[in-house]
Structures are given as structure tokens and as C-alpha cells.
Amino acid sequence: MVAKNAGLPATPADLIDVDEVIGKYYDIVPDVNVPEQRVSFGTSGHRGSSLKTSFNEAHIVAISQAIAEHRKAAGITGPLYLGRDTHALSLPAWKTAIEVLVANGVRVRIDSRDDFTPTPVVSQAILTHNRAADGTQRFSGDDLADGIVVTPSHNPPTDGGFKYDPPTGGPAPAETTNAIAKRANELLPDFKNVKRVPFEQAVKSDLVERFDFRKHYVEDLGNVIDFDVIKSSGVRLGIDPLGGASVNYWPLVNEVYGTSIEVVRPQVDPTWRFMTIDHDGKIRMDPSSPYAMKGLVDSLNNGAWDKYDLVGGTDPDADRHGIVCPDWGVMNPNHYIAVVVEYLFGKDKNGNPNRPDWPEGTGIGKTLVSSSLIDRVAASIGAKLVEVPVGFKWFVDPLFTGEVAFGGEESSGMSFLRKDGRVWTTDKDGLIPDLLAAEITGKMGKNPAELHKDQVARFGESWYKRIDTPTTLEQKQKFAKLTGDDVTATTLGGEEITAKLTKAPGNDAPIGGLKVTTKNNWFAARPSGTENIYKVYAESFDSPETLDKVLEEATEVVDKALAE
């Protein structure tokens, strides 16, 4: 259900009290016996709010100590790259982490300008550090680097987040985060086994090394994006960082590559008072949400389009992107992914490959709840499709090894290889999709929305939706035990069911739920990791009415399976 104030400007009542949020970070001590107050890593780290006693100083002390111990046990001896976004809780947590990491003898690399550091920039720094002299990526050995990004991504201003990236540069696998969380919760009741020094002492330590994240990342961008096309075509690109960590990166892009990218809204404000309200009535900095981006879109439609050919957006840690086109608005992330993969794996107007040096036979990675339009595009260009469970962590190893050249998910996260076929980042990168939109427009002569219209004419129009359904903890636990036999229905949306999946076809990993497909319809259901709900994703290439029918039947199928 969409909130009544969705898409409307934020009011004073919607804004956080920054002093209260930061004060409670230090003042409130969590109770490890309360499940909601324990350390818990989701697909993108530990997240919570100081106001709810789920993201407080004690959590970060414990997690940082657990990470220091993990590094020692794993033999990780290189620097730890530490980044942070613009959320109010990010700077306090960043300082806490430095206090603990330095006390444990960890070399910590922080931004030389004391500026914000996007998630993909940390990933790129880790991978570059760990590259061998012959250009290959090292899996093991001396002086391997890893990293931490202090961010809750696009979550509301009240929230904080803390995620660990191992030497592979992307989100840590579950076995790693489970071990870190377990140790952190052991440390929470008392800190007798925690090492810590005051911040002013820690930050002056020889263990803290200044590193120019921005220069390192921006000067490498030319190896993944064709800036010559952007410049020669004259495409006018605007960027809305949504008050996030990428805000100061775009001016350096212009300086290094001679582009004329304009930052549409350069404001950085931890209350995000300049946002419009998202679908659920909260301030959420999601560049792919039509509700969160409505203020920007309205200003563009009221005359600002005279300055731009397209506008891109990034969220607070710049791991998500959004693409806004004239006469279209915010593109659905699924639609942009389909355009991107056809471009990257395809040819230009003259029949020349757009990425000629990519490994032959490399695949297109997608999450199993992403649009089947991507499947149809992949089949049309003869590209291998690798479908994985929900979560970008499933693309880390495939991108790292080159099994896939592109990894993308329905929630507007993607990354892809360098032009020479080597790994770029193994975490989501919100900057390169925005730049690629300008490259695509310059080379193809059409913007991504226009190219999507062309795809619809060739592959058919689809309708896609996600709904959340209340459930119990007991029912959530049953999801992991579901099998195809639990689905007794034989049709979905009026078509014969062709597959009942509980494992992802791309890597045979459990999906934690269920996916049911027909020729033109599908649904997938999985429980939320943080709330007592389950999510149902569905798509139909038939009609909006069929999509509603698929969603109705999906809920019946799941409820019946969980009740048995």
C-alpha cells in the first residue's frame, strides 16, 4: 500500500533530530538477550537505528573487534580500507571502528581529505591493492587488503550500517558474517576482551594511513567507461547524488576526462530535508524510486530538461543508481538492466562489439527476481545467463573470476568488468551505470528509455510488481524447507507451470524460498531477513490483469504450502 504522503516534499515532522540520533548512539547500551538488539548481518551488513537500540556504539565496538580477530585468523595482513557515507550515524561509527582496529594493530586506510567514501570506491581500492603484477587477482598471500564501509545504503536518516568486505572486494559470504556476528554477540555483554584506544590517539597512530580514495577511483574510471564517446557526442548528463557520498566525485570526473557533468543537487544534509517521501511514508534515498525522485523529476519537467539529455542518481553510499529520461521519468531498474546487457554484450550501429576485449563466453548475472525481459535479451544475443539468489554477494566470485562480465539485481544494483575484461568492483557501483547511460546515449543515438521501447517492440511488454505479506517467525523458517512438491497447483495466470524452483539455476544455491514459472508469467516468494513478512515478486508478459491474478494465486500457493 502506498502512503498518502508518498511523493510529497518532506515536512519538519518527517525530519530526524540529528543530536538525538547521535546522542543515543553513545548513551544507550544494547541487551544481548533481546533478539532485536543483537548484532545481525543481513545481505549488506549489520543495520539498525540508535533510537531502536540496534545500532549503537557497543555494536560497533563488538563488530570491529570481531573483524580484527577474523582478519588475524584468516591471515589478512594488508591494510583495511575504511569508508563511510553521509548518514548521521556513519561518522560516529567510523570513529569507533578506528579506535578498535588500531588498538588491534590493524593498518587502516582512511580518506586523505576526510571526505565521504562510496561503497564501490572501497571495493575498487581493495581489488586494485590485491592485484598481482601480471594483472590477475590474488586470492591468497601476504599483504592482502580488505575493507569496511559504514553505511545503511538507502535506508532512512535514522539508520546506521556497517558492512565488511573480504579480500574479494564485495559483500562477505554468510559463513564469514555469521562468524563475525556470533563473536560480536559474545563480546557485547562486557568488553573485557576488547582492545580500544581513544580516537584522537588512534587517528594519529602510524597505523592510520591517508589514502586519496577519490583520485584512485576516478583516474581508473577510464578503464571501464568510454569517455571519448561521451565527450564527442556532446551528451549532457546531470547527476543527483541524493545528498550522498558521490557528491564530490563528479567534479573530479570532469577535471580528469574533460566532461561537463553537472551535479543537480549538491546539498549534503543528514536530515535529507530536500527529499520527497518514499512509497511507505519514510524518507528513503532511493534513486530508482519514482516517489523518492519525484522532486527531481518535477523540477526537470518544469524546465530543467533544457539543460540535460538525461539525469543519473546515486544513493547515500553510491551503490545504487537511478536513470531519469525526458518524457519517461525514472526508469524501472529491470528495464535499464535489459538495455545495459544488450549494449555491453552487443554491437554498435556499425556492427562493432561494444566491449570487444571481454572474455569469450562470459555470462550475464541476474538475480532470480529480476525481470525475464533480461532472459529474452540474453537469448537474442546468444549470451549465457547466470541466475542467482537475491543479494549482490552472489556476484562476488563470478565477477572476481570473470564467469560473468555483468551482475545486476532488480533493486538497481550492478557492476561490470573493465573494458579489458578484468574485474572492476565486486560490490554494486552506482556511478558507472550513470556514466554508462551517457555512453550508451552517445554511441547509440538513443537514450536508455528509447532503447527500452525498442526492446518492448521486439520482446514484448511486461508488468512487474512486489508485494509484502505478513507472516510469523515459524512460517518464515518453513521457507527454507519448501520443495517443488509443496506446490500442488498446475497452472499460474492461466498458463501451465513449467518449473518449481527452490534452488537458483545459475549456481544451484538455495533461494530461501520458491520460484514458479510459466512461459509468460512467474512469481518468487522469500521471507524478509528483518521483518515478519514474506515478499512476493511477480511478472507477466500478458497484461496487468494477469499480473494481479499471478500475485493472487502466488499468495494462495505460498500460504497453502506454509500451512502444511
Distance CA 246, CA 86 (A): 10
C-alpha pair distances (Å), 5 with each of 9, 313, 535 = 8, 22, 23
CB atoms closer than 10 angstroms to residue 177: 25
Q: Phi, psi (5° rounding) for residue 185?
A: -70, -30
Nearest to 48, CA basis, from 540, 536, 529 = 529
Beta-strand ranges (E) seen in 410-507 are 413-416, 463-470, 491-492, 495-496, 499-503
From 123, 153, 411, 540, the catalytic residue: 153
Helix (H) or strand (E) holding 41: strand 41-42
Contacts of residues 262-269 at CB distance under 8 Å and 24 or more positions apart, as own/partner, are 262/236, 262/237, 262/238, 262/307, 262/308, 263/238, 263/239, 264/238, 264/239, 264/240, 264/296, 264/304, 264/311, 265/240, 265/241, 265/296, 266/241, 267/243, 268/86, 268/116, 268/243, 268/244, 269/243
Nearest to 103, CA basis, from 61, 75, 144 = 61
Contact (Cβ atoms closer than 8 angstroms) between residue 361 and residue 382: no
Alpha helices in 227-372 (DSSP H): 227-233, 250-257, 294-301, 333-344
Q: For 312, which DSSP code?
A: E
Cell of 203: 587517528
**DSSP-derived 3-state class of residue 42:** strand
Distance CA 74, CA 465 (A): 42
- Is 528 assigned a catalytic role? no
C-alpha pair distances (Å), 58 with each of 25, 27, 106, 176, 548 = 9, 10, 19, 20, 46
Distance CA 339, CA 327 (A): 17
Question: CA 409, 537, 344 angle in degrees (round to 5)?
Answer: 25
Bridge partner residues of 42 (DSSP): 45
Cell of 467: 508485494
Query: Mind telling me the catalytic residues?
Result: 153
